[in-house]
């Protein structure tokens, strides 16, 4: 084995192993066409009215003024179908996907002053959506369903000031005792 990358792995061997494990070109082409058709259909779908209403409401909120603000708004509106398609590929639930897109648009609108005009707005929005999705996944891991309240009932802690007042009462009574 030739050590060429410092890790004890020959890149040629890795490439050969990857090539032998890859799918045939015909299957890859078929999958590519199917994915293009599926995502093409999603891209052509009508945007939910609530997303369009959100953009209309955001127009009334004071934001960065000038031509950059108009370009930003137009870029966000133009990216909505792609954002929604990407969100659907992550969650496969239209309601959750729309919530992800809505949260992304709200955060982007609030942070538009940090966006640098001339850079890739769509990439910025996609990164924000992906990060929002990851944050929700991490949050869900920590959440515990407690429909009947049994777990919450076990987490009750008596108020700490009661112990302090009991101790002050005891010290007050001890202070009244004669020194002997």
CATH of the domain at 138: 1.10.1740.10
- Give the whole-angstrom CA distance, residue 73 versus residue 52: 12
Residue 8 within any structural domain of the chain: no
Residue 12 within any structural domain of the chain: no
The dihedral formed by the CA atoms of 96, 97, 101 and 106, expressed in degrees to the nearest 10? 0
List the pLDDT tens digit at each of the 180 positions of the chain: 333 344 444 555 545 544 556 788 888 888 887 777 766 666 666 666 777 777 777 766 655 566 677 788 888 888 888 898 899 889 988 889 889 999 999 898 888 888 888 889 999 999 999 999 999 989 888 877 777 878 777 777 766 666 667 788 888 888 899 887
Residue 149 within any structural domain of the chain: no
In this prediction, residue 10 carries a pLDDT of 53
Residue 167 within any structural domain of the chain: no
Residue 33 within any structural domain of the chain: no
In this prediction, residue 2 carries a pLDDT of 39
Q: Give this prediction's pTM.
A: 0.56
Determine phi and psi for 155, rounding to 5 degrees.
Answer: -95, 10
Residue 26 within any structural domain of the chain: no
Count other C-beta atoms under 10 Å from residue 101's C-beta. 28
Which spans in 45-120 are helix H? 49-60, 67-91, 94-110
In this prediction, residue 92 carries a pLDDT of 81
- The total of structural domains in the chain comes to 1
- Give the whole-angstrom CA distance, residue 107 versus residue 132: 10
Domain membership of residue 98 as a residue range: 48-142
- Give the whole-angstrom CA distance, residue 141 versus residue 136: 9
Residue 99 within any structural domain of the chain: yes
Residue 65 within any structural domain of the chain: yes
């Amino acid at each position: 084995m030739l050590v060429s990358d410092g890790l004890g792995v020959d890149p040629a061997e890795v490439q050969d192993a990857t090539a032998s494990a890859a799918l045939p070109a015909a299957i890859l082409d078929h999958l590519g066409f199917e994915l293009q058709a599926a995502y093409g259909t999603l891209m052509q779908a009508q945007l939910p009215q609530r997303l369009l209403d959100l953009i209309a409401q955001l127009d009334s909120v004071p934001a960065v003024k000038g031509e950059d603000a108009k370009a930003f708004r137009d870029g966000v509106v133009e990216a909505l179908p792609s954002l929604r398609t990407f969100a659907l590929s992550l969650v496969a639930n239209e309601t959750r996907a729309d919530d992800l897109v809505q949260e992304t648009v709200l955060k982007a609108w609030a942070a538009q002053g940090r966006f640098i005009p001339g850079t890739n707005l769509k990439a910025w929005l996609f990164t924000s959506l992906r990060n929002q999705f990851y944050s929700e996944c991490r949050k869900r891991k920590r959440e515990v369903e407690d429909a009947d309240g049994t777990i919450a009932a076990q987490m009750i802690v008596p108020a700490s000031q009661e112990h302090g007042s009991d101790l002050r009462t005891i010290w007050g009574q001890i202070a009244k005792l004669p020194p002997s």
